[in-house]
A and B are shown apart, each in its own frame.
Chain A
Amino acid sequence: MPTPALLLLIATLLPLASFLLLTFVGKRMGEPLAGYVGTFLSGGSMVLSLAALAMWLNASPGADYGAGIGPIVQTFAWLPAGLSATTSGSLEVGIYIDSLTIALFSTITLVATLVHFFSVGYMADDERFARFFTYLGLFCFCMLALIIAGTLVQMFVFWELVGLCSYLLIGFWYERKSASNAAIKAFIMNRIGDAGFLIGFGILFYHLGNATLPQIWVSLGRAGMLTSGEGLVLAGGTTFSYASLTAMGLCLFLGAVGKSAQVPLHTWLADAMEGPSPVSALIHSATMVAAGVYFVARLFPVLTIDVKFVIAIVGVTTLTIGALVAVVQTDIKRVLAYSTMSQLGYMMLAIGVGSWVGALFHLVTHAFFKSMLFLSAGSVIHATHHEQDMRRLGGLYKRLPITALTFGVGVLAIAGTPLLGGYYSKSMILTHAAAFGLTAEAAGRSSGYWLLFILPAVMAYVTAFYMARCWMLTFAGRPRDQKIHEEAEESWVMYTPLLALMVMTVMPSRYIGVEDLVTRSVKEAQRHCESIAGGQPYRGFTTMWPVTPPTEAKSLTAGDVNSMPDIEPPAVTATVGVIEQATRIEHRWAFWAFAIGILLAAAMYLRGFAIADGLMRIAPLRWFHTVLLRAFFIDELYNALFARTTRAASTIIGLFDQYVVDGVVNAVAFVTKQLATLAGITDRYVVDGVVTTTAAFAQDIGAAVRTPQTGRIRVYVTALVLVSVLAVAVTVFVMMF
């Protein structure tokens, strides 16, 4: 096995070791040793990932893997079972490692290590201190295993397991009713999505068997170029129709909708903030919720045009709702939760419009600055003894200067301030969305497609506004609660990870090379697919609708693909001119979003809630505020639509049960009882009579027969003699006559 693969496998298993170790001896280790053990093993995982990254970037020229050269694909037989005609009779598992895998490994392990370390401080004096790190270890293992998985069946297994970890950690303080409710809500919402995942996987499995990712890409690579009514002819001669492909894509996407908190399954994410803040930083911002985006990105080549359109619509809806709702929240963590939801919406939108690189680039930069924001919020919450309501905070920059700094940098990053990580990824997504609008326009489509650019661009302003508002209300102005303010102080265990994450955020992203890595992973996947398909050019990842013609006539030739520069966003290779135009549009309309949003927020909230309260006197604004505060009443809608109807239905069914089913059962029981009484009488008099008579008869015979059995030997001998004599006499008598 190639060395990077080995390193990553060990990096995957170290958190598992942490989990097992802490499960058995965690309680004995106690505080803070258990936390440091978890941190140490997670750190080991990080070192291995970074080593793998270094090896990957400096792969030897002769190797068939490495950055921009090719992925590492390996499979192992797992369950020997004749599952499908296309697999060789065994369920296979495998690993697929490309630049994206390694980039995500480095990101996840880095964030995870810092979160572990932060938690040592945050979870201090918690009675289940060791168990927290046990769960974190399990989560890291599952997350890494999900990223390295080479087949969908593996992905599904670990997909479910990260959901389980999320459930356990949201409900970590399960004594609180709200926390345990939030955990159950998250679990159920995810379950709805996972049902979709399973159905989609079933459709895929029916056609392809348990295929590895490259096999899926090669077999279904032309899905993005089909129009309705067409179909893909598979190797076995069967046809995978456009309808089935679309159904499969939508079902698989539903899984990602649940996991990545997209509309309409988004309601669990805000409630998930009941979990400890480090959990929100690790799971509900940086890693698990991004797994949905990762998953859809991995399946990008098999998505049909209709599926991509749905993804774009869902993404744009989510980012709009998330950003608007975040504006009015007063709970510091709920602001961040809706912001996460909104950013995930940006990523989904990016995938929908074909900006594969933009989505994953944003995923990585977002992981850094959002985990930093959540950890900063955690630092605030810890310092103020679990006060999350911004109406009682304010002015904390004096007490928590480092947290105020890191949170501020996070706000700048998410607002899209140039030179910070978030700027590049966000502007890339917006640019590609604009390019999408341009191409749609050029193709004579409806101008409604422009909404896919306009809404995200407007929401970029809103994003800067609500994040700056959050900072102002927490750190600036006068303290609104003196007692909380005076007791607040920060500790080194908690701000060290913040500073480390700040370095990752501030460092110009081009320098870190995330974008290069993500772009190269496309190149690697393409090369690999081409080598499988016998040298035919592979365009699964570079298909962008609605530009790409459905016929093969205009497809790129092999020469085009090979001459493609290494570091070019693959989504737009076919439309380079459009990209320049889109960049200009993006710069004109969205470049100053960060400044305008932040200044507006400063104007409104620098002195607390005074101005906002003034605006609230205007009735329409107040109504709008209520709508936003209740998140568009979607929870209430679900409650009325599903919870209430279910309850009403169960009441009706309960009545039916009570009167009809129970009635029938009772009637049957009554009849049975009467029959049994009858049978009892028969039994007693008829059957028992026969039996008793027989027994009495046998007893009489026995008594009669027993009489000669005196037990006296002499009587027996006498009888013997007499019988013998009689027998002889009879014999002689017979012989004589």
Chain B
Amino acid sequence: MTIGLTHFLVLAAFLFVCGLMTILLKRNAIGILMGVELVLNAANVNLVAFNYYQHPGSAAHPLLTGQIFAIFIIVLAAAEAAVALAIFLSFYNSFSTIDVERANEMREQG
């Protein structure tokens, strides 16, 4: 059995659902951040897979668009994590917790 595009897509879907579930079910902000990382990486897998199987380019001129895109997303995820952690820290300073259920200040109170 050769490994094809479908396998990668299934893997990516699995990762995506895992991340999504983490985001939805976790109350801990750090956990949610992890879920976000999973979702992003699922997208990365898709990008690399599509690049490899659908638009590999020629031997002399290989196309690496998807892979480069994946690297950009990794960098972006790192930056996003930094920002998110700073927000959580600030949140913790205000509420002494990082439970996202408590983050409902924007809602009309009462």
Q: List residues of chain A with CB under 8 Å of any chain B CB.
A: 706, 709-714, 717-718, 721
For A713, what are the chain B residues with a Cβ–Cβ distance below 8 Å?
32, 100, 103
**A712 engages B104 (CB within 8 Å):** yes
Bound CA span A717–B22, Å: 11
- Classify the secondary structure of A's interface with B: helix
Q: Number of B residues contacting the other chain (C-beta, 8 Å)?
A: 13
User: Per-position contact with A for B81-110: 1 when CB-CB < 8 Å, else 0?
Assistant: 000000000000000000011011111100
**Can you list 26 residue pairs at the A/B interface with Cβ under 8 Å?**
A706-B108, A709-B107, A709-B108, A710-B104, A710-B107, A711-B103, A711-B104, A711-B105, A711-B106, A711-B107, A712-B100, A712-B101, A712-B104, A713-B32, A713-B100, A713-B103, A714-B24, A714-B25, A714-B100, A714-B101, A717-B20, A717-B23, A717-B24, A718-B24, A721-B20, A721-B24
Q: How far is the CA of A678 from the CA of B103 in the complex (A)?
A: 54
Which residues of B pack against A, CB within 8 Å? 20, 23-25, 32, 100-101, 103-108
Q: Contacts of A712 on B, CB cut-off 8 Å?
A: 100-101, 104
Shortest Cβ distance from B109 into A: residue: A711
Complex: how many Å from CA A713 to CA B24?
9
A721 to B106, alpha carbons, bound, how many Å?
22
B26 nearest CB neighbor, chain A only: A714
Please name all residues of chain B whose beta carbon is closer than 8 Å to the beta carbon of A711 when the two chains form the complex: 103-107
How many inter-chain residue pairs (CB < 8 Å) link A and B? 27
Chain B's closest residue to A706 (CB) is B108
Chain A residues near B101 (CB-CB < 8 A): 712, 714
Task: Verify A714–B106 contact, CB threshold 8 A.
Answer: no
Report A-chain residues with C-beta under 8 Å of the C-beta of B107: 709-711
A721 to B22, CA, bound (A): 13
Q: A721-B20, A721-B24 are in contact. List 8 more A-B contacts (CB 8 A).
A: A706-B108, A711-B103, A711-B105, A712-B100, A712-B104, A713-B32, A713-B100, A714-B100
Q: How far apart sit A714 and B20, CA to CA, in the bound complex (Å)?
A: 10
Q: How far is the CB of B36 from chain A (nearest CB, A)?
A: 10
Q: How far is the CB of A156 from chain B (nearest CB, A)?
A: 79
Contacts of A718 on B, CB cut-off 8 Å?
Answer: 24
Contact A714 B105 (CB under 8 A): no
Q: What residue of chain A has the Cβ atom nearest to residue B25's Cβ?
A: A714
A706 to B106, CA, bound (A): 12
Nearest chain-B residue to A715 (Cβ)?
B24
Residue of B nearest to A710 (CB): B107
List chain A residues, Cβ under 8 A from B106.
711
Contacts of A710 in B (CB 8 A): 104, 107
How far, in whole Å, are A710 and B103 apart by their CA atoms in the complex? 10
Contacting residues, chain A, for B24 (C-beta < 8 A): 714, 717-718, 721
Q: Please measure, in the bound complex, the distance between the C-alpha atom of A300 and the C-alpha atom of B17, giving whole angstroms.
A: 119
A709 and B105 CA atoms in complex are apart in Å by 12
A718 to chain B minimum Cβ distance, whole angstroms, is 6
Bound Cα distance A706, B32 (Å): 26
Closest residue of chain B to A718, judged by CB?
Answer: B24
A714 touches B23 (CB 8 A): yes
**How many whole Å from B108's CB to the nearest CB in chain A?**
6
How far is A706 from B101 in the complex, measured between Cα atoms in Å? 18
Once the chains are docked, how many angstroms separate the CA of A713 from the CA of B36?
13
In whole Å, how far is A372's beta carbon from the nearest beta carbon of chain B?
101
* Chain A residues whose CB sits within 8 angstroms of the CB of B32 once the complex forms: 713
Give bound CA distance, A321 to B24, whole Å.
120
Measured between C-beta atoms, what is the minimum distance from A522 to chain B in Å? 103
Q: How far is the CA of A718 from the CA of B21 in the complex (A)?
A: 9
- The closest CB in chain A to the CB of B21 belongs to A721
Return B109 CB to nearest CB of chain A, in Å: 9
Q: How far is the CA of A617 from the CA of B104 in the complex (A)?
A: 118
Q: How far is the CA of A633 from the CA of B100 in the complex (A)?
A: 108
Cα of A710 to Cα of B107 in the assembled complex, Å:
6
Cβ of A601 to closest chain B Cβ, rounded Å: 111
Give the distance in Å from the alpha carbon of A219 to the alpha carbon of B24 in the complex. Answer: 109
Shortest distance between the CB of A450 and any CB in chain B (Å): 113
In chain B, what residue has the closest Cβ to A703?
B108
Residues of the B chain whose Cβ atoms lie less than 8 Å from the Cβ of A714: 23-25, 100-101
A714 vs B24: C-alpha distance when bound (angstroms): 5
**In the bound complex, what is the Cα–Cα distance between A718 and B35 (angstroms)?**
14
CA distance A711 to B106 in the complex (A): 6
Distance to closest chain B CB from A103 (angstroms)? 98
User: How distant is the Cα of A706 from the Cα of B109 in the complex, in angstroms?
Assistant: 12
In the complex, what distance in Å separates the CA atom of A710 from the CA atom of B24? 15
The 8 closest A-B pairs by CB, nearest first: A711-B107, A711-B104, A711-B106, A714-B24, A713-B100, A717-B23, A718-B24, A717-B24
Nearest A residue to B105 via CB reads A711
- Nearest-Cβ distance from residue A652 to partner chain B, whole angstroms: 73
The docked-state distance in angstroms from the alpha carbon of A706 to that of B103 is 17
Chain B neighbourhood of A709, CB < 8 A: 107-108
